[in-house]
Chains A and B, each alone.
Chain A
């Protein structure tokens, strides 16, 4: 394990070095509204790091309100900023020896040695850094969901959480779709988008501190398993990574449905999809604890430093909202119809009884 005092010193020095470098680096400043809050992102003006921001493009705005989160995106190779040589950040050959995560009084850090990604956030200053060893070799899933750790720490400070879930909706109201890859989460979200739903996420969604909670777009990315590509053939020209067998096909939903991405959704239900190959989709009420078991482990373990506060927010959500298991049909139109029925029902319903 890393000595916390050593880690604190190394990370504080690194933050200071990045702040000094930021003063002289030619940057492009992009402004966004993330979960309705002004955010500024500084990215090198000449490097390739700008393309890492495509997933948050629909959240771009022109307002000049002071940013409540300022994030610096670094391309280590392009910007010429290497990490210091330190046992704190040396994990490639000895995963147990270096920094996985660090949580100090206000500073949070998380290092992914294989991906070559270091995330830093100082809650006291509202400043974050997302350092990539080399944009050209950064894994595609980081481009699909950039600086997710910084977003998690930041939203947790505001009483919310970044969940490993999908969210779609109609008329400003939405459903949260929980479950890890392979559960039918992304396919359900895309079926709903194709049926005219608003899109807030297929993989990571921001939940605020409101009651009932609202879901906010974090990334406009949708990734599908290769075996389901045929079902999404009408989006063929939008998918990236098709030539890479080791990567999931991915598209940006604002290219598919630009008018239905980015608005907040007041959540009305949580759904746990299950690929059941049914003729018609069935919705079955489930115990809140069963839903929490589906929702929390991947969300909490992907973001271990968010810990207790994010876990409590997830439990609140499962207590507050009706929880359903969706036993999915193969027909995406039927899946979307079931989700529409859930959102538009005037009364609480047992859809299993009516479908």
Chain B
């Protein structure tokens, strides 16, 4: 697995943790995302620039899932986040961090829920009337790393 560090791809991407979930918005593409469960627990550790192995260790203690399964799923999650340009490899030097102790929680995998219904807002002239498409739109099926 990738043992490197990552950072949020700011200022293009912004993310906010809220009540056990994480919402992420790509300001350039208009796509936004949602993380829940284990993926949401991993987000602040990723955003803090912790090495992947330390994140996997912390999640393993909280979830009690087999280490090789967790490592494989996390690597696929990081690949997905990188493909979506949500995170990038962090090459800056980061001060050592104390890894927070995560609350015990069942393992839910690393689903990334993606929403594209707002992309029309960014076409050519970003500020215009939005259509009467109603709300909320049905979410796409979550992308779960294999």
In the bound complex, CA of A289 to CA of B18 (Å) = 6
Query: Which of B21-29, B50-58, B73-81, B102-110 forms contacts with chain A?
Result: B21-29
A148 at the A/B interface (Cβ < 8 Å)?
yes
Q: Are B121 and A301 in contact (CB under 8 A)?
A: yes
In the bound complex, CA of A275 to CA of B135 (Å) = 9
Question: CB-CB contacts of A94-120 with B at 8 A, as 1s and 0s?
Answer: 010000100000000010111101000
Q: Are B126 and A296 in contact (CB under 8 A)?
A: no
B125 at the A/B interface (Cβ < 8 Å)?
yes
Q: Are A307 and B14 in contact (CB under 8 A)?
A: yes
A interface residues with partner B (beta carbon < 8 Å) = 91, 95, 100, 110, 112-115, 117, 139, 141, 148-149, 179-183, 225, 248, 272, 274-275, 287-289, 292-294, 296-298, 300-302, 304, 307-308, 311-312, 315, 318-319
B interface residues with partner A (beta carbon < 8 Å) = 10-11, 14, 16, 18-21, 23, 25, 27, 30, 32, 34, 115, 117-118, 121-122, 124-136
- B residues near A139, Cβ cutoff 8 Å: 128
Q: Which chain B residue lies CB-closest to A119?
A: B127
Q: Which chain A residue lies CB-closest to B35?
A: A289
In the bound complex, CA of A297 to CA of B14 (Å) = 11
How far is the CB of B21 from the nearest CB of chain A, in Å?
Answer: 4
Going nearest first, the 6 A-B pairs with the smallest beta carbon separation are: A182-B132, A289-B21, A114-B125, A183-B135, A315-B16, A297-B118
Q: Which chain B residue lies CB-closest to A141?
A: B129
Report which of A181, A248, A272, A319 forms a contact with B18, defined as CB distance below 8 A: A319
> Can you name 7 A-B pairs with beta carbons within 8 Å?
A115-B125, A115-B128, A141-B129, A148-B127, A274-B136, A288-B19, A296-B16
Report which of B30, B121, B132 forms a contact with A225, defined as CB distance below 8 A: B132
Q: Are A292 and B18 in contact (CB under 8 A)?
A: yes
- B residues near A311, Cβ cutoff 8 Å: 14, 16, 25
Report which of A183, A225, A287, A302 forms a contact with B21, defined as CB distance below 8 A: A287
Q: Other CB < 8 Å A-B pairs besides A272-B136, A301-B118, 16 of them?
A: A113-B124, A114-B128, A180-B130, A180-B133, A225-B132, A274-B135, A275-B134, A288-B18, A289-B20, A296-B32, A302-B121, A304-B126, A308-B11, A312-B16, A315-B16, A319-B18
Q: Report the number of A-B residue pairs with Cβ-Cβ less than 8 Å.
A: 108
- A residues near B115, Cβ cutoff 8 Å: 293, 297
- A residues near B25, Cβ cutoff 8 Å: 296-297, 300-301, 311
Report which of A114, A225, A297, A318 forms a contact with B32, defined as CB distance below 8 A: A297
Report which of B34, B125, B134 forms a contact with A182, defined as CB distance below 8 A: B134
How far is the CB of A93 from the nearest CB of chain B, in Å?
Answer: 11
- A residues near B14, Cβ cutoff 8 Å: 300, 307-308, 311
Q: Are B23 and A289 in contact (CB under 8 A)?
A: yes
| With A115-B125, A141-B129, A300-B27: A183-B134 Cβ-Cβ less than 8 Å | yes
| With A100-B126, A300-B14: A289-B19 Cβ-Cβ less than 8 Å | yes
- A residues near B10, Cβ cutoff 8 Å: 308
In the bound complex, CA of A112 to CA of B125 (Å) = 5
How far is the CB of B58 from the nearest CB of chain A, in Å?
Answer: 22
Residue among A275, A289, A315 facing the most chain B CB atoms (10 A cut-off): A289
- A residues near B34, Cβ cutoff 8 Å: 289, 293
Q: Are A304 and B131 in contact (CB under 8 A)?
A: no
Q: Are A296 and B19 in contact (CB under 8 A)?
A: no
How far is the CB of A178 from the nearest CB of chain B, in Å?
Answer: 9
| With A180-B135, A293-B32, A293-B34: A301-B27 Cβ-Cβ less than 8 Å | yes
